[in-house]
Amino acid sequence: MKNPEYVIVGAGPVGLVFSLLLAKQNQHLHLLESRKKNDSYSDKRALALSYGTKLILENLGIWESLENKVSEIKDIHTSQKNSFGRAILSASQYNLSALGYVVSYGALSKALEEAVHQSSKIKITYEFEVSAIKNEKDRSTLYGVNKDFSIVAPLLVLADGGKNTTGLVEGLKKKETSYNHMALVTKVTTEIPPNRIAYERFTSMGPIALLPNGPKEFSLVWTGKNKNIQELAKKPKKIFLERLHEHFGDRVGKFLDSDEFITFPLKKITLEDFPKTGVVVIGNSAQTMHPVAGQGFNTGIRDAYALSALINEFEPARVGSDRFISQYYALRKSETKKTLFFTDSLVNIFSNDLIGLSLTRSISLSLLDNLKPIKNFLVNKMSFGK
Ligand SMILES: Cc1cc2nc3c(=O)[nH]c(=O)nc-3n(C[C@H](O)[C@H](O)[C@H](O)COP(=O)(O)OP(=O)(O)OC[C@H]3O[C@@H](n4cnc5c(N)ncnc54)[C@H](O)[C@@H]3O)c2cc1C
């Protein structure tokens, strides 16, 4: 193998997609990952993918290998407990074959990693946790636990996820805000099978999303205040399923069974400042958002796509230059800002249980069901892209 030219820190879905995009452009690269090989395959969180994400995965030949692990979303039912408001979005109204697609993080990681292992252009080193980076004009030195190596690379790409890695490299500054919320994730079976319908229900215990995952199961993502979610996660399965039914209502009949519960603390991370040459931050490492709107990975994959396209456009000697770096962030700034704003608006309107907001929510949902422009906007964003 030729000496790697790019170094990517983090083999999460965004780092993996970026590596495959670069390899497709005939670039050589080295991917560093702190966890063990195969460790992410058991992550059961469901990711709702947009049509744009599907196109990128198709282009990389990944979609084919995922096909029987992906479920389509044809309709989205949005409602609120104890209120008259509700909204229905249907793919057929927009002449789309689907409003989005659902796949588990583990299945996606496995398909991407297998493709990476097959590529002669990508070297991947597991169990290498980068703890510091010295970024000089033409050389980056990466320090890991008991390991370090120096590499002359035009660009170092940080795709190390939602940890706040301020301090990893000089000039990198992030802002971290806790939502004081957690997500509880599991799979559930119900009396009425999914039939390609996704549900989002806003309750006093936080938003409940049911995403069709296979013909018989839904993936549940229940986000809410830390205390409430921690209490729910400790409940015996039978009581948990009863609570879920109580909050979700009767749309899918009774909840029959669930898998193990996994919880995620939720925080927002935004990039405040970044190194002016040699390093780019993408994916959750650049922006971590609440999962209520299912936009985190969909935004991260567009970072990966934009960066690979810019590398393709630039003269090789100028990749990583200050002009290159500022152009990349300028390209991504507007979309990232809008998506974070949209996501936080949903969190604020639908997750706070303040007096008066309940009526606002009912009205918002009724308006949404009746006003075409609002529906169109949501089809583009909340229902995962057009
Ligand atoms: C409950 C939940 C539901 C979600 N649902 C959706 C959804 O429906 N749709 C959607 O688009 N998004 C969703 N998201 C967001 C999505 O999971 C993230 O946006 C996505 O995983 C980001 O990918 P990433 O590769 O940037 O980061 P990660 O997935 O965090 O991967 C980062 C990788 O970097 C490695 N790493 C970290 N630090 C180091 C280091 N110092 N050295 C070496 N390696 C390192 C980690 O081990 C990891 O493998 C959801 C998130 C949650 C929590």
The pLDDT value given to residue 306? 97
Beta strands per DSSP E along the chain? 6-9, 29-32, 46-49, 71-73, 75-80, 86-90, 100-104, 122-125, 130-135, 140-144, 147-151, 155-158, 173-190, 197-203, 206-212, 217-225, 255-258, 262-273, 279-281, 287-288
Are the C-beta atoms of 329 and 282 separated by less than 8 Å? no
The pLDDT value given to residue 383? 47
Residue 130: CB within 6 Å of ligand 1? yes
Of residues 375 and 272, more confidence is placed in: 272
Residue 297: CB within 6 Å of ligand 1? yes
The pLDDT value given to residue 384? 47
Percent of the chain at pLDDT exceeding 90: 65
Probe target for ligand 1 pocket from 19, 297, 298, with the most ligand atoms within 8 Å of CB: 297
> Cα of 341 to ligand 1 centre, how many Å?
20
Please give the domain boundaries of the chain with CATH numbers for all domains. 6-66+104-176+268-343 (3.50.50.60), 71-102+180-265 (3.30.9.10)
Residue 35: CB within 6 Å of ligand 1? yes
pLDDT of residue 154 exceeding 50: yes
Dihedral pair phi/psi, residue 312, rounded to 5°: -65, -35
Lowest mean per-residue pLDDT among 2-6, 82-86, 96-100, 353-357 = 353-357
The pLDDT value given to residue 386? 42
Q: Which atom of ligand 1 is nearest to the CA of 221?
A: 1
The residue among 101, 99, 31, 34 whose CA lies nearest residue 62 is 101
The string of DSSP letters for 76-139 reads: EEEEETTSS-EEEEEGGGGT-S-SEEEEEHHHHHHHHHHHHHH-TTEEEE-S--EEEEEE-SS-
Residue 37: CB within 6 Å of ligand 1? no
The pLDDT value given to residue 355? 41
What mean pLDDT comes out for the span 293-312?
A: 95
Lowest mean per-residue pLDDT among 9-13, 142-146, 206-210 = 142-146
pLDDT of residue 371 exceeding 80: no
> Cα of 132 to ligand 1 centre, how many Å?
20
> Cα of 183 to ligand 1 centre, how many Å?
14
Residue 100: CB within 6 Å of ligand 1? no
pLDDT of residue 286 exceeding 90: yes
The pLDDT value given to residue 357? 47
Residue 16: CB within 6 Å of ligand 1? no
